[in-house]
Homo-oligomer: A and B are copies of this chain.
Amino acid sequence: MHVPHQVASPCNDAPSFREASPLETREAAERQKQRDGISETMSLLAESLAPGKRIVHAGDVIYRSGESFDSLCVMNSGLVKIVSLTQDGREQVVGLKFRGDWLGFDGIAHNAYACDAVAMDTGEVWTISYEALLKASTEQPRLLQALHRAMSGEITRDRESLTSVCTLPADARVADFLHYWAESLGKRGLRTDQITLRMTRAEIGNYLGMTLESVSRALSKLAREKIIAFVEKGRRDVRIPDLAGLAAFVERSLAPQAVTLQ
């Protein structure tokens, strides 16, 4: 149960050194599993459907609300935000998508997309005809399984968003957001100790239901408490020495009454 130490790199982007707890190794194993699952699904899609591949850059619109639906997308790399626009003009970021995530489920019900999908970074998006997917899935049930799991997972994730917004104070929401983002990277085999926020404070605030100033203050507070740190020059790179620290911060904000009453 001993994880070998890594060699320190000279610059300040080395992971923090600590013994791995049993919990952490279990979590790491879970991430490994997730990662394998994503790669497996990507291979399956690539082989069974020969999806169209498209490179997108920050700002590119992948699909727009109202466009007629005929295909789903799966992200091979990059980062995408899903934005919903209400009739009365409110704009809401309702989701973030990473490698392996599917886009466009909202289009199935009414044959038209209900949201915009906008790239926030360079990446590759695969396009999969919904018709073709259904057709192929009769001979390859794993395709259907992958589709259903992805939809199911999206429903669960959306509920987590709602729970965060409804039950956490602003500071904790930001901490929870960073935790979610880092975990998302971890599940995809990427480092969890540093993330590059490709969203402005305003976008983060919109996603979390608070103002950009509150996001900024929350980040400053987390940095002050050494739960995160900003990489020198630029406030888009966030260093997270210990993921559990973020989770602990969230918990702490839920039970501030627990003074040492003994």
Contacts and interface: CB of A to CB of B under 8 A. Distances in A.
Interface string A193-227: 00000000000001111000000000000000000
A84 interface: yes
A253 B154 CA distance: 31
A109 interface: yes
Nearest to A206: B166
B108 A159 contact: no
Contacts of A90: 163, 167, 254
B144 A114 contact: no
A168 B166 CA distance: 13
B167 A109 contact: no
A151 interface: yes
A251 interface: yes
Interface string A83-119: 0101011101011000000000111110000110000
A149 interface: yes
B165 A209 contact: yes
A12 interface: no
A163 B84 contact: yes
A250 B105 contact: no
Interface string A37-50: 00000000000000
A153 interface: yes
B163 A107 contact: no
Given A105-B151, A105-B152, A108-B152, A166 B209 contact: yes
Interface string A158-177: 11111101110000000000
A244 to B, nearest CB: 13
A237 to B, nearest CB: 26
A90 B166 CA distance: 10
Contacts of A161: 162
Contacts of A165: 162, 165-166, 209
A149 B159 CA distance: 19
A55 interface: no
A152 B107 contact: yes
A175 to B, nearest CB: 13
17 contacts: A88-B251, A88-B254, A89-B254, A92-B167, A94-B159, A106-B155, A108-B149, A108-B152, A109-B153, A134-B141, A151-B151, A155-B158, A158-B158, A161-B162, A165-B165, A165-B166, A166-B208
